[in-house]
Structures are given as C-alpha cells and as structure tokens.
Structure 1
C-alpha cells in the first residue's frame, strides 16, 4: 500500500470536518497578523486560490505525519494542536506562498515588502519552534520534520515529496561566509529520510529513496536507493570494576 493510499484511508476513517477549516483559519491568522492593514492583499491571495492551495498542502503534511509517527496515535488533531515541529512546516508553507506570490507583483517595492513579511513569518516560527526554513526553499508534498529543534533548511534547498527529516539536521552551504548568490544548498529527491544531526553541505544531489544515518556529514552526491552509514564512531562497552 502506498503512502498516499494510506493517507486517503486515514482521512476517510477519521472525522475531519473541522480540521481543514482550522487549518484555513490558522493560515488567515498568520496572514492578518503579519500583513496588518493590508487586508486587501489577503483577499487577493484568497481570490487567486493561494490560501486554498497552501491549506491543501498543509492538510497533506498533517495526514502524512499522523500516518508516519506512531507517537501521534494517528491523530491529526493531536499533531495540529501540540507539535511545534509541524507548526514550523505550516509556517513555512504560508511564508513560501507569500514569497512565490511576490514574484508575480509588478513593482520592486511590493516584491521586497512581501518578501520581508515572508521572512518575518519564518523568523517568528524559528523562535517559536527551533526550526528554520527559508521561505524561498522549494519543498514538495508531505514533508515531515519530526522533533525538529535545531534543523536548518537553506534558501536554495530543494526537497522532493514524502521526505522525513529529524532534529538538528542542517541543509546548508559549504562556506561559512562569502557564499555565492546562486544554488548553494542541497537538493533532496523524494522519499529521503535524514537522521538526527546529519549535515548536508553545498549544492549536492541526494537521490530518491536515500536513508542518511544520524551524524553523517555529506559534501558529495548520493545516488538513489542508497544508505549513508556513519562508521567513524565506535561504541565501546566495558565492564565496571567494583
């Protein structure tokens, strides 16, 4: 059974009549709070189907998370109300929608203004959740960031569908300072799983269906259907002398 089929079965088996409306309201709350007096822009986003599209993506993220995380007991409501790592993804979806919508605007001032608002949403989410996702990052459907604290996803990062990322993961650039203003962050394929505190640096490509062990440091491309294992750390157990 595919993950998408599981999500559909979950949606059909649980009453979600208010989940979707609560997601919609959460999106609008974030927009109203950050757009302040620009009420007409919220209306424009709604009329252009932006809010509906974002809501659908968040709904998919939520169903997938409920299916994948056993501690959630298959309860989307539980995740929506209590998982800060999910709130980080939710905030990213809203910030990214604003960032992408800004590309359609005519004046430079309007573009910059909307991108600043998108970044503010991202920064607020970082403080609240401990997860930093740049609003310009390109992320596919059904992303899960589990636990999440300390995870950083850079501006030019690209992530495929059905990826699972744990806490402390860094998808960053190779250099500390003086990075070039172009593609400098990783590209992850679909169904990639990244273990805790793994770090992937530079514009490397991680293929589909790759599993990356915790604490791995990656600076070169990884082909599809691979597993990256850390072998430089050994666990030694010694009997205590009483």
Structure 2
C-alpha cells in the first residue's frame, strides 16, 4: 500500500480552547482507518479540518502529496476527499435516484439539471449515469426505492442513500461520519460489507467515525483512539483490544 492521505501535527484552537492537538496519521490506499472516542474527543473537528470546514491552527494535510490545508471544502472535494455528515444532506423533494445522480453530475458534460430536464448536451451521458446510479442502489439493496422521495425514507434509509451518493463519483478518499447510525442489524452488516468492498475492490482509503465498536473491529485495518482532542492510542484492532486504557475507557472492560 502507498500513502494516500497524510495528516501531520494537526491542531485546531477556538478562542483559546484546544479542540484538536497535534494529531498525526497516514491513510493508505485500500485501507480502512476508524476514529473512536467519547463525545467531545475531537473526532468531528478532525474531519472538519481534513475536509476544509475549519482552518487548522497548525499542522498539514496532504492528498497524494498535494497540500490541502489552505483550500476550500469545495476544492478539497474536487481533489477527491468526499464525506458524509451525521445529519445527512439529501434533497428531500428529489427521488432517491435523483439524489444519487447529484453525486454523478461532475462526471458528465452537462449539469445535473440538464439531466433532469432532458437538455440536448446531456443526452449522451444520461443513460449511463442512470444505469450507474441504479447499479449503486442495487448494491445497497435500495433499488426498489429509486422513485421514492428522499424525504419519505427512514433515517437509516437516508443514511444508505447518502453514502451511495457520496461514492458515486469514485473518490480516492471517503470520510464516513457514523455510517451505522439508524441502521438495523441487517443493514449494519450490509454496511460493513460495502465498506470492505470499497476498500478492497476499489482501493478507496476510508476514514470513519463510528460508535458501533463491533463494526469498527470488524472493518478497520487501523484504529485511532482520541480523547480531549488528543490521540491516546493507535493500532490494529487486536492492538487496541489489548490496550488497557482503551478497554477501560471505551470498550467497557479491562
């Protein structure tokens, strides 16, 4: 594996409050790295600093050797770091299929709205994009909901559609913010399988925040444990299982 995302010495301070302090790690191609820790540990701040939603006080982020720290969230997303959010972000009035198509519009010669309204310059790519969107929905067992307005879905279903939309453009790096939230046990197992396939078959580097410890232990190659904005442990699932402080603080036993 080769280095894809390099985070070095990342710190974020807000009005004297340290939200993130000197966090470093590397994410390789085809690797799944989980970030765990209690509320307020700095997990979301880490995601926001990597994806450009907050400006680091110090430290650097590089993707494929290119510095990202001073770029806007849009520019970072264009370079290949895509993310989901805890509170979703679907267009509730659009159907499930149309929401997934918004994740594909950057790959077409026309705009997403060209596709929706059938303008001439989008006709050549429309059929291919719709077919790909339906294939992605089928992969997540959501093809039967393609024509359902996103606002009519359950929270778990919306989470699945958001992830499908995020991966539609084949990003090299995917940031998943609590992907198992709202999912049934069956859907959670399905999510684990999708994460493994995205990493193993597509070579996507995946960074995920997750409170479902069983999911983390099942899919993560490496785990970063945080508390009070700092990294307190890092290693493989087996190494984290044997870390006494981590076991006591996050896994409920020593």
Q: TM-score, normalised by structure 1?
A: 0.29
Q: Which has the higher contact order (CA 8 A, sep 6+)?
A: 2
Higher strand share: 2
